[in-house]
Amino acid sequence: MKKRLFVIALIVIFLLPSTVLASSTVTSDAALNFVKTSVNRVLAVLRDPSYKTKSAKEDQRRKLRALAEELFDFREVSRLALGRNRRSFTPQQMEEFYGLFRKLLERTYINKIQTYTDEKVVYDKAIMLSDTKALVETDVITGAQKIPINYRLVFRHNKWMGYDVIVEGVSLVKNYRSQFNLFLQEKTPAELLKVLQNKISTKT
């Protein structure tokens, strides 16, 4: 259950129409509105009855993937997840890492988000962390459980963009960074790239 909520949180944060993004301002209210609009848009896709049949699931995945490709800041999330380890990567290896990590996120989370079962989202508040960064707090209600899900946003190029999701205190970025740190203590960037490629090739 918690894993499903985590993947919902990860995807919905980036799925906002460009017309709304263009009108965003650097305020806590605008950050909160960004999250509300993002969540509502992706939930509309997940709730669309035309995608309920097994044969339509691939079309639904393509729609979600296209939205994510347009607005998901894969490079920023990838950069933060790799952390200082990126210094040991050549420019070519970094480009390959960006592409592989993006595909891993897409295949892992966009596919699994389709397990959504109409949980309720409650929007709490937004806090400005700096002049250009905000934290938006929400809760997902599922049965008798209330799962806190927080979003970290940055205002860049005249729009809000999500760069991290925290579920019950667990950060997506820090979770991946910890895994990459452990791996790269004993192995090389080339070996990490090979592992990511294998994961993408075998994941369904």
- Given a cut of 70, whether residue 5 has pLDDT beyond it is no
Residue that is written with structure tokens 């994941």 in the block: 203
pLDDT tens column, 184-200: 999 999 999 999 999 98
pLDDT given for residue 142 in this prediction? 82
Q: Are 162 and 152 in contact (CB under 8 A)?
A: yes
Helix axis angle for 91-105 and 74-82, nearest 10°, is: 110
Give just the sign of the alpha carbon dihedral 191, 195, 196, 200: positive
* Total tally of structural domains belonging to the chain: 1
Band of the pLDDT at 18, cuts 50, 70, 90?
very low
pLDDT tens column, 94-148: 999 999 998 888 877 776 777 777 778 899 999 999 999 999 999 988 888 888 9
Instruction: Print the domain residue range for 78.
Output: 2-202
**Taking the complete model, does pTM exceed 0.75, yes or no?**
yes
Average pLDDT of the residues in 13-21: 43
Band of the pLDDT at 16, cuts 50, 70, 90?
very low
CATH number where 98 lies: 3.10.450.710
pLDDT given for residue 70 in this prediction? 60
- Spell out the residues 6+ positions from residue 129 whose beta carbon is closer than 8 angstroms to its own: 135, 152
